[in-house]
Amino acid sequence: MSHFDTLIVGGGAAGLLCAITAGRRGKRVLVVEHANRCGKKILMSGGGRCNFTNIHATPANYLSANPHFCKSALARYTPYHFIEMVERHGIAYHEKELGQLFCDDSSKQIVKMLLDECSAASVRVETSCSIERVSHGESDEDRFRLHTTRGSFSAPSLVVASGGLSIPSMGATGFGYELARQFGHAVLPTRAGLVPLTLSGKHQEPFADLSGVALPVTARCNGTSFSNYFLITHRGISGPSILQISSFWQPGDDLRLDLLPGRDALEALQQWQRDRPAAELKTVLGDVLPKRFAQRLCEHWLPNRPMKQFNGPQLREIAQVIGDFALVASGTEGYRTAEVTLGGVDADELSSSTMQSKRMPGLYFIGEVVDVTGWLGGYNFQWAWASGNAAGNAV
Ligand code: FDA
């Protein structure tokens, strides 16, 4: 049995940041990672360039049954704390859009930076190390014990940073949720978030041959809206606007698109009627929307005639369809392609300043395993860093 001050399960974003923070404080830290390398999700993130933070991150960008929970950790570790480390390591980055910071070169630089920081803080990292059993307080000492394929380790604190269920092929497991239950924690229902939606049957048919068509929209669901690109896929719909809204959508919920975001559809139609009375609706729409999409709209949902032939009420009906286009999604693509897992370890049972369990002293949960889920755009890594920092300063 090797003894440490802190054991961390999961060498992903949250686990590594926590290890660095605790290691810098002189703690003897062990990170146990079951995959053959750390940070696989970081490597695949942001299309290989890792959208490592968002400079506009605030608690309003996160979903949780306890919306106040993330405030303390986010306030104490801001995007600028992480940017300071990125700059110290000479990693070039840029803002893509909407405050999203990406590496100029490669996500590998972020993983290397985190592992270099771990070594500088004397953190031990064990990869390809599977946990067989977790126990606590078996002897007179109040220690956690990890029994693994690489030996047994003990420490007075255990940090669970094993992530969510998305992308099982990258090492995602339900381990953190099982461990939470083992120690008496409630786990809120989980579901895939930031995920493409599927269409089926008569709701998919009109889009079947439009795979690859993309256009800017405002997607609305359950009182939330996101303006960004919408993409038709082989199985349904995706693109940033749909990925964002997917976290707010559940089967049966009403999902609407404004196909002319930022414009009043009725005013636009009236203008086109005045300017181009002989042009057909599909032609004028084809000048502002992808042509194949405009044509399909006029085959399935809208009457196609020269603009001068529409009367006032008809124009209003067309404007209604364009500005409030109803989509009936059948489901999501699930964890196979989801960027995140919604739900998880109930934040009400954790300290918001340290991430420590209120039920089991010495036990901490950080990152995606907790019921805190960010929007698309660097917010999820910012939560991983911030919650990792909070626990790393407390263990
Ligand atoms: P994370 O999943 O990073 O790490 C958990 C670690 O625990 C993994 O290394 C896993 O192998 C390990 N583990 C699991 N079970 C274990 C066990 N039983 N024993 C030992 N180890 C175990 N976010 C963002 O902000 N910007 C972006 O650009 C992207 N892009 C992106 C792309 C794709 C394709 C995905 C799937 C996700 C993103 N994300 C993202 C989301 C982001 O990757 C995610 O929110 C964080 O990685 C979560 O960090 P964690 O450390 O909590 O989990």
Q: How far apart are CA 28 and CA 7, in angstroms?
A: 9
pLDDT in tens, the chain (395 residues): 899 999 999 999 999 999 999 999 999 999 999 999 999 999 999 999 999 999 999 999 999 999 999 999 999 999 999 999 999 999 999 999 999 999 999 999 999 999 999 999 999 999 999 999 999 986 657 899 999 999 999 999 999 999 999 998 887 989 999 999 999 999 999 999 999 999 999 999 999 999 999 999 999 999 999 999 999 999 999 999 999 999 999 999 999 999 999 999 999 999 999 999 999 999 999 999 999 999 999 999 999 999 999 999 999 999 999 999 999 999 999 999 999 999 999 999 999 999 999 999 999 999 999 999 999 999 999 999 999 999 999 99
> Contact at 8 Å (CB) between 23 and 29?
yes
* Gap from CA of 332 to ligand 1 centroid (Å): 20
Alpha-carbon dihedral 99, 100, 101, 107, rounded to 10 degrees: 170
Alpha-carbon dihedral 91, 96, 98, 103, rounded to 10 degrees: -20
Atom of ligand 1 nearest to the CA of 131: 19
Q: How far apart are CA 324 and CA 309, in angstroms?
A: 23
| Top mutation candidate among 50, 86, 162 for ligand 1, by most atoms within 8 Å of CB | 162
- Residues near ligand 1 (Cβ within 6 A): 9-15, 32-35, 40-41, 44-46, 50-51, 131, 161-163, 166-167, 171, 173, 175, 339-340, 367-368, 378-381, 384
Q: How far apart are CA 51 and CA 45, in angstroms?
A: 7
Check if the interface score ipTM surpasses 0.95.
yes
| Top mutation candidate among 45, 146, 335 for ligand 1, by most atoms within 8 Å of CB | 45
Please measure the distance between the N-terminal and C-terminal CA atoms of the chain and give it in whole angstroms: 20
CB atoms within 10 A of CB 119: 12
Long-range contacts from 64-67, C-beta under 8 angstroms, 24+ separation: 64/347, 64/371, 64/372, 64/373, 65/188, 65/346, 65/347, 65/348, 65/371, 66/346, 66/347, 66/348, 66/371
Q: Which residue is closest in CA terms to ligand 1's atom 26? A: 378
CA distances from 175 to 6, 16, 146, 333, 350 (A): 18, 18, 13, 22, 18
Q: Which of 315, 333, 364 is nearest to 14 (CA)?
A: 364
* Gap from CA of 24 to ligand 1 centroid (Å): 23
* Gap from CA of 326 to ligand 1 centroid (Å): 33
* Gap from CA of 81 to ligand 1 centroid (Å): 20
Strand-pair partners of 296:
none
> Does pTM surpass 0.95?
yes
Domains parsed from the chain with CATH numbers:
2-191+341-392 (3.50.50.60), 197-332 (2.40.30.10)
